[in-house]
């Protein structure tokens, strides 16, 4: 029996030109849950490698100085090679530590993670209760194999114990534990979810878990039954962050914030009645075709300055295929009304679905350009393991998960499957969309002109890098030929 467990959470870094760095909300929730139930029996430390410069040395220093009993690594698809690069370091400098993998990548790829890296276990799905049960077992030096919600390796077999029951009463959860990080370090990164920002002091918040809809490209780490915090509970988190940390901008990242309209109205009215002068963004999107004018007006009144409309595709055939059938006319109507109120309208567009034709891609891009949106992101489809999209894509062309693990990979899945240069049309769509008139409109609507110019600089710098890359590829063969001729 131990008196205390030392747990180190690690958020991996992955190489990307415009790396999004946001507050790791999932880890903060796990930390708060453990502290609530174990009190002084658990000591928690956190290392976010995304915000460190000398990443390898910082990792070694943290392992050496802290000597954790448990190392919990949060993995998304883009972090798939973290253990390939760091497992030896983890085991060398913390040889006695139990290494646990969690997150969406671990949920759907636990077999590969366990067999390659020989770690203790992987957490499957929602993590709070599972990690609590694991920590209790380690405190008592007991076997973990009877815990629900994990996968572990026994000799040559990988064994899954299934998923733990989801936490139904989200109000019973403590507020995220911001004490384990230095929040100001997340305010200086120029690359954020949603691109535009209104305030420097900002963070993510989540008022519900899961989504009842069946879109084939989405994960189900939280299940498919929508679970909601009460309006009062969610508002208390906003108030705490505003008062204790001076946060003025809140990015609501629910999968579907507006599915329960009366609850949404209650939350917005609590914010309005409180007199808090805050800005609200929806970088993860909301269900655009069930919005009403009353909803949009109330969102604006509460401080919303940007709404993301996840349109994905304008093709009725593809909407049916991906199980996301939408009323596009209603979406256009809502975009127009939001624009009228001065809200920035952002759109998510996905191109490169399995079976999608080039003509369908072009029509979706044209729809976005003519929709009235102020902003748009053109994502290449990434078929993540554990989704129905992954199974569909595999039927057309085998998905190489080490390559097709992100929305901005050099060679998207569709390009590998068809040979069509999707990255080219993706960049050209961006250039066609952002006309001078659209950029001027966005400038006028942006609540912070400084952050607008920061966004503009990075967006077009990224496009110029792409253009130079194409030019180099075009020129280099002729240089080789002329060199050969001279020889």
pLDDT tens digits, 129-180: 999 999 999 999 999 999 999 999 999 999 999 999 999 999 999 999 999 9
Tokens of 32: 């708060």
Look at residue 180 in the predicted model and tell me its pLDDT: 97
Distance CA 429, CA 421 (A): 13
Look at residue 310 in the predicted model and tell me its pLDDT: 96
User: What one-character-per-residue DSSP string does 391-412 give?
Assistant: HHHHHHS---TTTS-STT-SS-
User: Contact, 324 vs 289, CB < 8 A?
Assistant: no
Rounded percentage of the chain residues whose pLDDT exceeds 70 = 93
Which of 62-76, 225-239, 444-458 shows the lowest mean pLDDT across its residues?
A: 444-458
Torsion angle of C-alpha atoms 57, 58, 62, 63, degrees rounded to 10: -40
Q: Tell me: the pLDDT tens digits for 318-336?
A: 999 999 999 999 999 999 9
77: confidence class by pLDDT, cuts 50, 70, 90: confident
Kindly state the DSSP code that residue 177 receives in the 8-state scheme: -
Q: Which residue has the higher pLDDT, 1 or 204?
A: 204
Kindly state the DSSP code that residue 154 receives in the 8-state scheme: E
Q: Is the pLDDT of residue 64 over 60?
A: yes
Look at residue 255 in the predicted model and tell me its pLDDT: 94
The residue assigned the tokens 């078929």 is: 383
Q: Where are the domains of the chain?
A: 5-160, 192-458
CATH no. of 5-160: 3.40.50.280
Look at residue 484 in the predicted model and tell me its pLDDT: 30
Rounded percentage of the chain residues whose pLDDT exceeds 90 = 80
Same fold, 5-160 and 192-458: no
Look at residue 487 in the predicted model and tell me its pLDDT: 28
Q: Which CATH code of 3.90.960.10, 3.80.30.20, 3.30.160.270, 3.40.50.720 fits the domain covering 192-458?
A: 3.80.30.20
Look at residue 233 in the predicted model and tell me its pLDDT: 98
Q: Tell me: the pLDDT tens digits for 416-470?
A: 899 999 988 998 999 999 999 999 999 999 999 999 998 888 877 776 776 676 6
Q: Tell me: the pLDDT tens digits for 390-413?
A: 999 988 888 775 655 555 567 888
């Amino acid at each position: 029996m131990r008196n205390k467990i030392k747990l180190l959470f690690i958020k991996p870094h992955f190489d990307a030109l415009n790396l999004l760095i946001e507050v790791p909300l999932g880890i903060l929730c796990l930390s708060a849950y453990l502290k609530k139930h174990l009190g002084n029996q658990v000591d928690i430390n956190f290392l976010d490698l995304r915000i460190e410069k000398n990443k390898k040395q910082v990792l070694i220093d943290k392992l050496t100085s802290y000597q954790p009993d448990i190392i919990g690594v949060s993995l998304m698809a883009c972090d798939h090679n973290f253990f390939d690069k760091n497992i030896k370091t983890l085991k060398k400098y913390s040889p006695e530590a139990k290494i646990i993998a969690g997150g969406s990548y671990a949920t759907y790829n636990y077999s590969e993670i366990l067999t390659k890296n020989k770690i203790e276990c992987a957490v499957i799905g929602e993590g709070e209760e599972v990690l609590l049960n694991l920590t209790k077992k380690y405190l008592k030096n007991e076997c973990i194999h009877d815990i629900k919600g994990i996968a572990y390796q026994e000799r040559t077999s990988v064994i899954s114990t299934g998923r733990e029951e989801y936490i139904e009463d989200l109000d019973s959860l403590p507020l995220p534990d911001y004490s384990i990080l230095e929040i100001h370090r997340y305010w200086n990164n120029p690359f954020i979810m949603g691109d535009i920002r209104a305030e420097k002091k900002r963070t993510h918040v989540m008022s519900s878990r899961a989504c009842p809809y069946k879109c084939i490209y989405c994960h189900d780490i939280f299940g498919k039954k929508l679970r909601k915090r009460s309006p009062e509970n969610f508002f208390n988190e906003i108030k705490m962050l505003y008062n204790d940390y001076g946060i003025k901008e809140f990015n609501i990242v629910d999968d579907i914030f507006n599915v329960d309209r009366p609850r949404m109205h209650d939350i917005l009215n609590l914010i309005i009645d409180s007199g808090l002068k805050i800005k609200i963004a929806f970088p993860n999107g909301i269900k655009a075709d069930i919005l009403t004018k009353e909803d949009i007006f109330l969102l604006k009144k509460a401080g919303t300055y940007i709404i993301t409309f996840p349109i994905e595709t304008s093709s009725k055939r593809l909407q049916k295929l991906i199980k996301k059938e939408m009323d596009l006319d209603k979406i256009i109507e809502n975009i127009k009304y939001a624009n009228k109120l001065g809200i920035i309208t952002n759109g998510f567009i996905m191109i490169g679905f399995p079976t999608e034709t080039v003509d369908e891609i072009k029509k979706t891009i044209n729809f976005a350009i003519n929709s009235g949106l102020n902003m748009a992101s053109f994502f290449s489809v990434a078929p993540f393991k554990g989704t129905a999209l992954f199974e569909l894509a595999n039927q057309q062309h085998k998905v190489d998960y080490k390559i097709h693990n992100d929305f901005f990979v050099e060679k998207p899945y569709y390009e590998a499957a068809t040979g069509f240069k999707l990255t080219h049309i993706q960049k050209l769509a961006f250039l066609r969309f952002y006309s001078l008139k659209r950029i001027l409109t966005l400038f006028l609507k942006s609540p912070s002109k400084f952050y607008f110019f920061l966004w503009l600089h990075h967006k077009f710098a990224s496009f110029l890098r792409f253009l130079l890359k194409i030019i180099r590829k075009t020129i280099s063969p002729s240089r080789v030929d002329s060199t050969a001729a001279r020889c």
